[in-house]
Amino acid sequence: MSYSHYDSDLQFSTFFDIIFYLLAGLCILQERLAWIVPISIFTAFNRETSVLIPFLPITIALFSSHKGSLRQTIPICFPAFMSYVAIFIGLRLIYGKQELIVPYGYQPGFDLLLHNFSRIITWVQLIATLSVIPIMALIGYQKWPLLLRGFFWIIVPILFVDHAFISVMVESMLFLVPQAMVFIPGTLFLAQQSHVTVLK
């Protein structure tokens, strides 16, 4: 994580983001879904990337055959998301219109995507921050629990595409949420299964 602050300062909002995602994941694993609503409220005051937290309980219905259903998770997801939206909009109404900060003169969209993908430093920073952990985790994807697979499909593709088009990827701390929430646990499951196989 110490390599993730390229051209940026220590941002507590990033690390609070990680904490809130991990808390939401623990609540889901322990089937304490009601806590997703207050967590979503707090995250709405933190930063925009936490918008996926209200949708995490859906993993129970879509990726687990023995823990609940959509009928049980929607009553949690809906108020959590609506609370997030209300706070998100409310803050912008209170503070008024803010000037768009354009990173390095590049506009969000394909302009920024080309900037991100064409710079070698982007890939150097991503490797320095994430290391080989995402690769190891994906190799062991079949060994992951179903809920972890659900977290992967809700968090990883959306955040990576989002950051590619509207953020500067060289500031690799943006990818610490999928690293902490999905890739590190995925790697640990791979290591655990490999250890058991060796012992056998």
Q: Is residue 185 part of a domain?
A: yes
CB atoms within 10 A of CB 24: 26
Q: Is residue 4 part of a domain?
A: no
pTM reported for the whole predicted model? 0.87
Residue type at 198? V
Q: What is the pLDDT of residues 108-133, one digit of tens each?
A: 899 999 999 999 999 999 999 999 99
Q: Is residue 120 part of a domain?
A: yes
Q: What is the pLDDT of residues 48-88, one digit of tens each?
A: 889 999 999 998 888 876 555 777 888 999 999 999 999 99
Domain count across the chain: 1
Domain residues for the domain of 115 are 12-199
Q: Is residue 53 part of a domain?
A: yes
Please give the pLDDT value at position 76.
92
Please give the pLDDT value at position 198.
47
Please give the pLDDT value at position 67.
52
**For residues 134 and 119, what is the distance between their CA atoms, to the nearest angstrom?**
21
| Total residues belonging to the chain | 200
Q: Is residue 142 part of a domain?
A: yes
Q: What is the pLDDT of residues 135-147, one digit of tens each?
A: 999 999 998 998 9
**For residues 116 and 178, what is the distance between their CA atoms, to the nearest angstrom?**
18
Q: What is the pLDDT of residues 3-57, one digit of tens each?
A: 666 666 667 888 899 999 999 999 998 989 999 999 999 999 998 889 999 999 9
Q: Give, in order, the Cα–Cα distances in Å from 76 to each of 32, 128, 156.
A: 10, 38, 22
CA–CA–CA angle 88, 94, 97 (5° rounding): 85
Q: Is residue 182 part of a domain?
A: yes
Q: Provide the CB-side half-sphere exposure for 85 (13 A, CA).
A: 8
